[in-house]
Amino acid sequence: MKKRLFLLLLSLTIVFPLLTAPGIMAASVNDYPVVFTTFNTAAVRNDPDSYPKFTVSGGSDLLVQSVTTYHWNDGLGSAPGTISIYDSENHLVGSWNASGRSGSAANQYWDVFPNVVLKAGKTYSIEDSEPQTWSCNSQSGNAGFAEVRGKASGNPPPQSSGINVTVNGTGVQWTDAVPFINSDSRTMVPLRAVAEALGLKVDWNGTKREAIFTDGTKTIYFPIDSKVAYSDGGGTVTMDTAAVIVNSRTYAPIRYLAEFFGFTVGWDGTTRTVGITGGTGGTSSSGSGWELIYENTTQRPNEVSGMYSDAYAWEKDTVHNLMCHTHVKIADGQPYQKTVMELTCTLPPKYGAPGEKITFDIAAVLIETNIAKYYFGDSCSVQYGLPGKAIGIAGHYLSNILDEGSESPSHPDSPGAGTGGDKTNPGGSCTVFWHFPSSPQKGDKFSFYFMSFGVETEWCYEYKG
């Protein structure tokens, strides 16, 4: 079953039982009333076609007190993994480590106790970390067996503690998430809103349950339910309270995120304001300095010339912060030959300051070939210039011009991406840099370009003053 691709979604409406008892976690799931289930007594198979999906209705939020999934697995059960809840926009509400409960098989039931509030009128899906042993049948709509227990909740989401956050004097605006004080007496801040005010790019790794923040030069990862954040350079940051997810939003103390990127964090007790100022290398926040206004990628049409055919493609990989250009070269003669090369470049930041140095890692990587020796002829480079017109090269070309095991003659500024031309020496990489113009006028425009054999990506910036 492919994650998030629902072949069939079982959509049910929750009907709340009338409850007056408080929502205190019980020792058994049976202490909670069932509000949604796909369980039934018919014969089951493993590997559902879809995730069970339900809608919270009736005008009241749902306090989810327990979720159970069923792993009969031909009487073998299954060691417990994790159970997750996603909303209809593919945002993770939460993921929890399950405890196993035995029936006629060991660990055939997986139980979690989220104690999380789901919004009235919203649709959610339940996901299990081991679909290959998760039970289903036609009566469940071929969706995984899952049971949700809980009650109608009048509990509101965490309320604002009255704490404000400013970035270089400008207040951060909260939408559906606000700061709150946690049980460790620490101020927890919704990281996305502040990160975007700092000019950072935000991503989410659902597999590792990590919030990812980058300025285009360095990256920090916040694992959920962990007090340790880590960077792409191998360093770690130990916090005094763990990052958490509340109502699909990642919260953590803001100091650790801001200081990692070189900002200074202060506190005004009179106005209850966290003030964030500065930044590494003059990195600008939204509203001033250089700001990315568009990104555009063009590619040459697929072509056939002589015995060769060439096809080009591109993809933006936000998880690894890369722009990927792909070249497929095929010789339809005898023998049939195919080589696929990927040219990559790290993404530039969304914001920059006048004169700021921007580095790019570029690489030529052999993805596939069915021949021992090959002539490919790919190269890539980072260039700079005006919108729609590159005028200079930021450092070197990176070439992968290899012929029968020997490097072809190339430009003196073109370091070879490998020197063997065989499958054991498939590519290379290098780092180049350039600077944003240092004395711009408001409204000036400037572009970086990633050029490869058949694809060109332009990042155009405007100086906001």
Residues 214 and 308 in one domain: no
The answer, yes or no, to whether residue 168 has pLDDT greater than 70, is yes
Residues 246 and 375 in one domain: no
The answer, yes or no, to whether residue 218 has pLDDT greater than 70, is yes
Range of the domain at 300: 291-463
Q: Which of 239, 265, 282 is a domain's end point?
A: 282
Residues with Cβ < 8 Å from 317, sequence gap 6 or more? Answer: 323, 324, 344
Question: Residue 236: beta bridge partners?
Answer: 230
Residues 273 and 295 in one domain: no
Q: State the pLDDT confidence band at 408, using cuts at 50, 70 and 90.
A: very low
* 308 alpha carbon, distance to own chain's centre: 38
Instruction: Give domain status of residue 352, yes or no.
Output: yes
CATH number at residue 71: 2.60.120
pLDDT tens figures, 267-290: 887 888 888 887 643 344 444 578
Phi/psi for 75 (5° steps) reads 85, 5
pLDDT at 258: 86
Instruction: Give domain status of residue 438, yes or no.
Output: yes
Residues 138 and 278 in one domain: no
Instruction: Give domain status of residue 4, yes or no.
Output: no
Q: For residue 383, which amino acid is it? A: Q
Instruction: Give domain status of residue 391, yes or no.
Output: yes
Characterise 305 by phi-psi region: left (phi > 0), alpha (psi -120 to 50), beta (else): beta
Q: Which of 153, 177, 204 is a domain's end point?
A: 153
Using DSSP's 3-state secondary structure scheme, residue 219 falls into strand
Stretch among 156-170, 185-199, 312-326 having the lowest mean pLDDT: 156-170
The answer, yes or no, to whether residue 306 has pLDDT greater than 90, is no
The answer, yes or no, to whether residue 8 has pLDDT greater than 70, is no
Using DSSP's 3-state secondary structure scheme, residue 442 falls into coil
Using DSSP's 3-state secondary structure scheme, residue 7 falls into coil
CA distance 42 to 439: 74
**Whole-number percent of the chain with pLDDT over 90:** 20
Stretch among 157-161, 191-195, 274-278, 291-295 having the lowest mean pLDDT: 157-161
pLDDT tens figures, 16-59: 333 322 223 334 677 788 999 999 999 999 999 999 999 987 66
Instruction: Give domain status of residue 3, yes or no.
Output: no
Residues 140 and 229 in one domain: no
Residues 265 and 296 in one domain: no
Cα dihedral 84, 85, 89, 92 in deg (nearest 10): -50
CB atoms within 10 A of CB 457: 22
Q: For residue 324, which amino acid is it? A: C
Residue 226 DSSP code: -
- Work out the end-to-end distance of the chain between its first and last CA atoms, rounded to an integer number of angstroms: 51
Instruction: Give domain status of residue 2, yes or no.
Output: no
Stretch among 6-10, 259-263, 454-458 having the lowest mean pLDDT: 6-10
Residues with Cβ < 8 Å from 335, sequence gap 6 or more? Answer: 371
pLDDT at 204: 82
Residues 316 and 453 in one domain: yes
pLDDT at 288: 58
Q: What tokens does 130 get? A: 């081991």
Q: Where are the alpha helices (DSSP H) in 92-150?
A: none
CA distance 385 to 428: 26
Say if residues 148 and 54 touch (Cβ distance below 8 Å): yes
Instruction: Give domain status of residue 1, yes or no.
Output: no
CA distance 406 to 260: 45
Total domain count, the chain: 3
Instruction: Give domain status of residue 305, yes or no.
Output: yes
Residues 275 and 305 in one domain: no
Residues 149 and 210 in one domain: no
CA distance 105 to 78: 9
CA distance 23 to 53: 23
Residues 452 and 311 in one domain: yes
Residues 311 and 273 in one domain: no
Residues 409 and 435 in one domain: yes
* 18 alpha carbon, distance to own chain's centre: 40
Using DSSP's 3-state secondary structure scheme, residue 113 falls into coil
Q: Which of 222, 255, 282 is a domain's end point?
A: 282
DSSP characters for 232-267?
A: TTS-EEE-SS--EEETTEEEE-HHHHHHHTTEEEEE
Pairing type for strands 10-13 and 52-55 reads: parallel
Say if residues 65 and 149 touch (Cβ distance below 8 Å): yes
Q: Flag whether the pTM goes above 0.75.
A: no
pLDDT tens figures, 69-121: 999 999 999 999 899 998 887 777 888 888 999 888 889 999 988 877 888 88
CA distance 250 to 307: 54
Q: Tell me how long the chain is.
A: 465
pLDDT tens figures, 189-212: 888 888 888 888 888 887 788 889
